[in-house]
Amino acid sequence: MAGPPLTDSKHGRVLSGRRVLAATGAATALVCAPGVPATAGQLPASTHAVAAPRVVPAPASLRTLPGVSFTLTRKTKIVARPGSGTAGGYLAGILRRSTGYPIPVTGAGGSRGAISLVVSRHEKGEAYHLAVTKASVRLEAGSAEGLFRGVQTLRQLLPPAIESPTVKPGPWTMPGVEVADSPRFAWRGTMLDVARHFFTIQQVERYIDQAALYKINTLHLHLSDDQGWRIAIDGWPRLATYGGSTAVGGGKGGHYTQADYTAIVRYAAARYMTIVPEIDGPGHTNAALASYAQLNCDGKAPPLYTGTDVGFSSWCIAKPVTYELLNDVLGQLARLTPGPYLHIGGDEAHSTTAADYATFIEKVGPIVGKYGKKMVGWNEIGAAKIPPGSVAQYWNTAKGSEGGTQTARDAVAQGAKVVMSPANHAYLDMKYDQSTPLGQDWAGLIEVRDSYEWDPATLVDGVTEKDVLGVEAPLWSETIVTNDNIDYMTFPRLPAIAEIGWSPQARRSWDDFRVRLAAQGPRWSAMSVNFYRSPQVPWPAS
Ligand code: ACM
């Protein structure tokens, strides 16, 4: 990570590694080695460096306790009080691998020397309070979900090697802190496009764990598109077996059985992450239209498609079979999905007339409602009549009151909330710079700073803080095939979007963020995450 001089491309400054460290204060504090009793008149036997806390997303409030620290030992246990859900087991799993300590998880016991997880009436929802003192670590939250979010902060207080899958030497010391924290927005999402290229359950689970570290709580799965249909539907087997049989570039594709999908839902739920399944329509439907001739207005199935064009396919709006199919698909997905949302797509319907588009959205909205779910769609759905309580996902690059923003205002006027995914800030598939080997550039080149420096509550005129449900960073996969590809485009930009979703706007600044982000680099190295070493970030030299 040392490499060439660091260039801040926005300002054209070239900084030596040393100057970056000095400029950003990326120093470590020397504190007394904890666990070594400092008896009267005697200096501690040794000292070691404890890095200052560098947490992403920035907590609403974090106070360091000078000279105080807590060190994990072979005797450390986790006391997970009743109601603490998966948080204790999840934390123990991470700590055991790298420390080699037994780290038992018990439901009761004294807090001295322990990490205590406590559900408390004093906190609400995802809010948590974390106190690291010399004697103990105490994490309190109003819910198991809040404890799980707090565990992510706790992990980031420990040295980066804590993320190693194999035993490392330690010492495992965290600085004394008092953190009081809660999220700005309820929806802090990312999206995997499993349609352009298919990703296995294991790949999706790996992504879930990576995102959970940054308090992402929503995973949107783009399950169908022109190039592939990725979920088995009872009564319509060819959608998956034929429509899912290929991918961009002509690879072999793949699909999830309903049991596979349920496994992903469960894995996500154990990390307090909601799955939002998307079946895109009326455009982006070639894989389905290729699978069943009767879905086409002319009764003829088109060939499978493995290119990357958009806007050429449409459901046949006038045919009842279109809605029979969607009734089955959305009904089955509703049954398999505990979360409150079904995403019906609605983007780039360039082969559907405006009148047909409106007819389609107005027929699908009630189907989603009938199955007890809220409808999510890309912002174009605002042009049609949508049920109150729907969610419009804003993906355009327009801002202020420019043309492309009107559908977002139209959605809000109908009682919808907005999830902000502006392509020129939040799309993880855009190249970082001209030399990025993966990705696209139609929405621009997005360096880390571009992904970080925007405010969801002021981007679009008429869509204000109260209208914004949250933010989401979509990873479209036309050029994304491997875990290394996923990692490279996701890190470090997903943490930038995660911080926008979690941290108070007043706590956010690029100069502060880039330093905290730099501290994630060694964590990603320990986790074998193939991240992009942006020249905008002062990565540590080792
Ligand atoms: C989109 O990028 N077509 C939502």
Per DSSP, the residues of 20-85 read HHHHHT--EEEEEPTTS---TT---S-EEEEEPP--SSPPSEEEEEEEEEEEE-TT--EEE-TT-T
State how far the Cα of 485 lies from the Cα of 429, in Å rounded to an integer. 10
User: How far apart are the CA of 350 and the centre of ligand 1, in A?
Assistant: 12
User: How far apart are the CA of 184 and the centre of ligand 1, in A?
Assistant: 25
Q: Where in the chain is the domain with CATH 3.20.20.80?
A: 187-505
Nearest protein CA to atom 3 of ligand 1, as residue: 347
378 lines ligand 1 (CB under 6 A): yes
347 lines ligand 1 (CB under 6 A): yes
Instruction: Answer positive or negative: Cα dihedral of 331, 333, 335, 340.
Output: negative
Task: From the CA of 378, give the closest atom in ligand 1.
Answer: 4
380 lines ligand 1 (CB under 6 A): no
Q: Which residues contact 210 (CB under 8 A, 6 or more apart)?
A: 487, 490, 491, 494, 527, 529
Task: From the CA of 348, give the closest atom in ligand 1.
Answer: 3
Report which of 498, 530, 506 is spatially closest to residue 55, judged by C-alpha positions: 498
Task: From the CA of 427, give the closest atom in ligand 1.
Answer: 2
In the block, tokens 């040392």 appear at 2
Q: Choose one of 279, 309, 395, 427 to mutate for the ligand 1 pocket test, by most ligand atoms within 8 angstroms of C-beta.
A: 395
Task: From the CA of 284, give the closest atom in ligand 1.
Answer: 3
In eight-state DSSP terms, residue 304 is: P
427 lines ligand 1 (CB under 6 A): no
User: How far apart are the CA of 88 and the centre of ligand 1, in A?
Assistant: 38
Q: Report angle CA 198, 288, 377 to the nearest 5 degrees.
A: 75
pLDDT tens series, the chain, 542 aa: 233 333 323 222 222 222 222 222 233 333 333 333 333 333 333 344 677 899 999 999 999 999 999 999 999 999 999 999 999 999 999 999 999 999 999 999 999 999 999 999 888 899 999 999 999 999 999 999 999 999 999 999 999 999 999 999 999 999 999 999 999 999 999 999 999 999 999 999 999 999 999 999 999 999 999 999 999 999 999 999 999 999 999 999 999 999 999 999 999 999 999 999 999 999 999 999 999 999 999 999 999 999 999 999 999 999 999 999 999 999 999 999 999 999 999 999 999 999 999 999 999 999 999 999 999 999 999 999 999 999 999 999 999 999 999 999 999 999 999 999 999 999 999 999 999 999 999 999 999 999 999 999 999 999 999 999 999 999 999 999 999 999 999 999 999 999 999 999 999 999 999 999 999 999 999 999 999 999 999 999 86
Fold for the domain defined by 6-181: Chitobiase; domain 2 (3.30.379)
- Place domain 187-505 in its CATH homologous superfamily: Glycosidases (3.20.20.80)
Q: Where in the chain is the domain with CATH 3.30.379.10?
A: 6-181
Torsional class of 10: left (φ above 0), alpha (ψ -120 to 50), beta (otherwise): alpha
State how far the Cα of 461 lies from the Cα of 399, in Å rounded to an integer. 8
Task: From the CA of 476, give the closest atom in ligand 1.
Answer: 2
Q: Choose one of 343, 344, 378, 446 to mutate for the ligand 1 pocket test, by most ligand atoms within 8 angstroms of C-beta.
A: 378
User: How far apart are the CA of 346 and the centre of ligand 1, in A?
Assistant: 9
Q: Which of 178, 324, 348, 453 is catalytic?
A: 348
Nearest protein CA to atom 2 of ligand 1, as residue: 395
272 lines ligand 1 (CB under 6 A): no
User: How far apart are the CA of 56 and the centre of ligand 1, in A?
Assistant: 27
pTM of the model: 0.91
- Catalytic (active site) residue 402: no
State how far the Cα of 433 lies from the Cα of 505, in Å rounded to an integer. 27
Nearest protein CA to atom 1 of ligand 1, as residue: 347
State how far the Cα of 365 lies from the Cα of 411, in Å rounded to an integer. 13
